[in-house]
Amino acid sequence: MTERMKILIGYDESDCAEAALDDLKRAGLPANAEAQILTVAEVWLPPPPPSSYEIVEQAREVKVPADLKRVYAKGCAAAKEALSSAKRARERVKINFPDWDVSADSACGSPAWELVFKADQWKPDLIVVGSHGRTALARFVLGSVSQRVLTEARCSVRVARGRVEESDSPVRIIIGVDGSPGSEAAVHAAAARAWPPNSEVKLVVVDDPLIPAYVGELIPPLAKTIEEDIKEDRAWAERIAARSATLLHGAEIKVTRVLRQGDPKHELPKAAEEWGADCIFVGSAGFSNRFERFVLGSVSAAVAARAHCSVEVVRQNSQVERTE
């Protein structure tokens, strides 16, 4: 992370975008940061005039990087209105974070891809997007801006779901830990934030053990072996939780550890809902390409889709390469 945190905020004037701005006050973000607000106008653009095509061809011949469509798009009425919207959001953010350096920008096209494109150029530490609150099934089948950005971005992403709380009231944070470098990065990210007094962190390790009863009835000699494996898994989980707790040493927050059994994709959102958590921090699995993410899925994406609170997926810098 850079000395001054860089935050890219996607904003579209929807209720969920407004909630995401409110959520910034509950995210433990630094008092001094650099933020860019991007509003994207979803419009079908007319083709550029013929002279622009000639300019494009000339630019290609001399290998000059130029994107005249984007320049042309910024001049359309929808883009100008999007910029006005981003500027209004900037003023609101400045009220809550007066020491932030906040700028506003607009684009035309797909909101998800424009945010990812902007992030690739500007290289923020964190992208903040709102969740439109569709059902988990609809998000998985139809997709959403937040899920697309979460999947494609190279940096950390916060899918924000605002809650009606006082900004200085204690925050409850769940961190999913599994001993991976990604989960360790999530712990470090949470520890580096400035949380309100009396805030709490619950480290949740989810173990998915084999159930020996049924297997033991079919193959009795295996029952004892499976029970021993379960004990080893439990001991492993306790070591992981204890090690993660040491990473939070020095942060002025109360830390507890919890072991749960089941699928992390279900158990982390369930734990957050039962506890009334404000946010879940999880690490990115770091798949090497888009095909792996599509076939294998991702705990972080599933948690972001199912959770009723904000979810921050932490990626270390120089993260996954995307395949086009």
Each of the 324 residues of the chain gets a pLDDT tens digit; together they read 457 999 999 999 988 899 999 999 999 999 999 999 999 987 654 444 545 555 555 555 544 444 555 555 555 678 789 999 999 999 999 999 999 999 999 988 889 999 999 999 999 999 999 986 555 554 444 457 888 898 889 899 999 987 656 667 899 999 999 888 888 899 999 999 999 999 999 999 987 665 454 444 555 565 555 555 556 666 767 787 788 888 887 677 899 998 888 889 999 999 999 999 999 999 986 555 555 454 445 788 889 888 999 999 998 753 333 333
Q: Could you give the number of structural domains in the chain?
A: 1
| Domain-embedded: residue 284 | yes
| Domain-embedded: residue 54 | no
Q: What is the pLDDT of residue 182?
A: 87
- In sign, the C-alpha dihedral spanning 50, 55, 58, 63 is negative
Q: What is the pLDDT of residue 163?
A: 65
Q: What is the pLDDT of residue 64?
A: 43
Strand bridging mode 310-314 / 33-41: unpaired
- Give the separation between CA 59 and CA 40, rounded to whole angstroms: 26
| Domain-embedded: residue 207 | yes
| Domain-embedded: residue 83 | yes
| Domain-embedded: residue 56 | no
Residues in a beta bridge with 107? 40
- Give the separation between CA 165 and CA 154, rounded to whole angstroms: 31
- Give the separation between CA 4 and CA 108, rounded to whole angstroms: 29
| Domain-embedded: residue 60 | no
Residue-number span of the structural domain to which 27 is assigned? 5-42+74-314
DSSP conformational letter for 226: H
Q: Pick the closest to residue 180 from 29, 299, 310 (CA basis).
A: 299
Q: What is the pLDDT of residue 199?
A: 94
| Domain-embedded: residue 64 | no
Tell me the CATH number at 276. 3.40.50.12370
Q: What is the pLDDT of residue 145?
A: 85
Q: What is the pLDDT of residue 246?
A: 82
Q: Pick the closest to residue 172 from 26, 16, 30, 270 (CA basis).
A: 26
| Domain-embedded: residue 198 | yes
Q: What is the pLDDT of residue 52?
A: 52
Q: What is the pLDDT of residue 115?
A: 94
Q: pLDDT, tens digit, for every residue of 244-257?
A: 888 887 677 899 99
Q: What is the pLDDT of residue 79?
A: 79
